[in-house]
Amino acid sequence: MAVGVVTRASPMPYDRTITEASLIEPMAMMMARWRALSFTGVLNFEGWTIPHGEISPGIWGEGYDDRRHPHTLFHEMILSLTGGVAPGVRASLSAGKGFAPYGTDDPMNRPALLYPVNHHWSQVMERAVLIGGVQSGRVTLEGGLFNGDEPVGPFSWPVIRGRFGDSWSARALVRAARGVEVQVSHASVKSPEYRYPPAGPTHDKWSASARYERPTATGHAYAMVEWARNSELSGTYVYYTALVDAELLRNRQRPYLRLERTDRPEEDRLLDPFRSQRPSLENSILGISRWWIATAGYGYRLRATGIRLEPLAEVSLAHVVMVTPGTVFTPQQHFGGDNILTLSLAIRIGAGMPMHRMGRYGVLADQGEPMAMGANRMGE
């Protein structure tokens, strides 16, 4: 699959209007199963198509600001062994490169085109992971070990020696009712932004969410609400996020909405205002900004022979305020204003198998849930 998109955002740093065309999320997916073994693989080619990132006001992480970083070539490569261990109890062991058992779905699995600001608060991904899972009835428990370092480029690999196992996470997920799942998770991520040695602060993370997804007579309905907290340096810096996602697929029409309130660290920029220093030289920041963003979009699904197409339009309005007024960073100085409008026109193209829910391995991927019902996965 891939998405061709033209995005216009204003104001961007230095009071500029930026209009940019890019090919995002070019990916190839593979799933295979043999007896108790299963394999999930996702190749992501953004390292070639958006090496400088995708314009996206508010997004940050991996040394990018207001541009979403490209994901790594091997986005997900997980081998799982799953089986029953007692009557009504199943267990799994998963290993490879992928998502730690923490937080909510990859934004690529969700309705909106542009990523939410909270991507680095609500997912921990592209790590070398070892995950154990147990499922009984409606409850699934997972625990994982992984390397804390985040990727430093689209072709980087996790640091195994000296870093694997320095971070951990655990998630409890309950299928509260048909189509409803609730999760609470915690992660301790050591020095994600200082690769080796792990000299940076540990991120202490909490996430809670409730997700609803049900088929309807003409498509499906989806909604998700999440909350997350990220604390660094024992509470010196604390960031919160709250987000609501929803979409309704009715025949070919797919309107969707996202509301978000997310805090982000403002970090030392390089001469390029879309890039920040990695690794950091010190523990200082330019302050904490809070992003209130409303995003609405509309997609219309088409189907040609063997190809799925979805033209879509998305509009996003962000209002930025400082949680820490008085620092050297103000949205008025940096952007030229505190209201940022983003418009995107895109066409999503898919063929072959639909996109699976990424980050769900072993017992969590194997509970008979529909594999293709994700909001953005065009699997219908």
Name the site residues for another protein (rule: CB under 8 A).
Answer: 13-15, 194-197, 199, 201, 233-234, 236-237, 266, 268-271, 273, 277, 279-288, 324-329, 333-334, 336
Nearer CB in complex with another protein: 200/350:
200
Nearer CB in complex with another protein: 10/135:
10
Work out whether the CA dihedral 46, 52, 58, 61 comes out positive or negative: positive
Nearer CB in complex with another protein: 289/295:
289
Calculate the CA dihedral of residues 159, 119, 216, 218 and round it to 10 degrees: -100
Query: Least distance to another protein from the beta carbon of 234, Å?
Result: 5
Joined together, the tokens standing for residue 180 give 């409803």
Nearer CB in complex with another protein: 155/251:
155
Query: Least distance to another protein from the beta carbon of 169, Å?
Result: 22
CA distances, 132 to each of 23, 39, 358 (Å): 36, 15, 16
35: left (phi over 0), alpha (psi -120 to 50) or beta: left
Query: Least distance to another protein from the beta carbon of 350, Å?
Result: 38
Joined together, the tokens standing for residue 109 give 């699995």
Query: Least distance to another protein from the beta carbon of 322, Å?
Result: 10
Nearer CB in complex with another protein: 109/327:
327
Looking at residue 103, the DSSP 8-state letter turns out to be: S
Query: Least distance to another protein from the beta carbon of 273, Å?
Result: 7
Looking at residue 374, the DSSP 8-state letter turns out to be: -
Nearer CB in complex with another protein: 217/328:
328
Query: Least distance to another protein from the beta carbon of 218, Å?
Result: 49
Cβ within 8 Å of residue 132, ≥6 positions away: 91, 92, 93, 94, 142, 143, 144
Length of the chain: 380
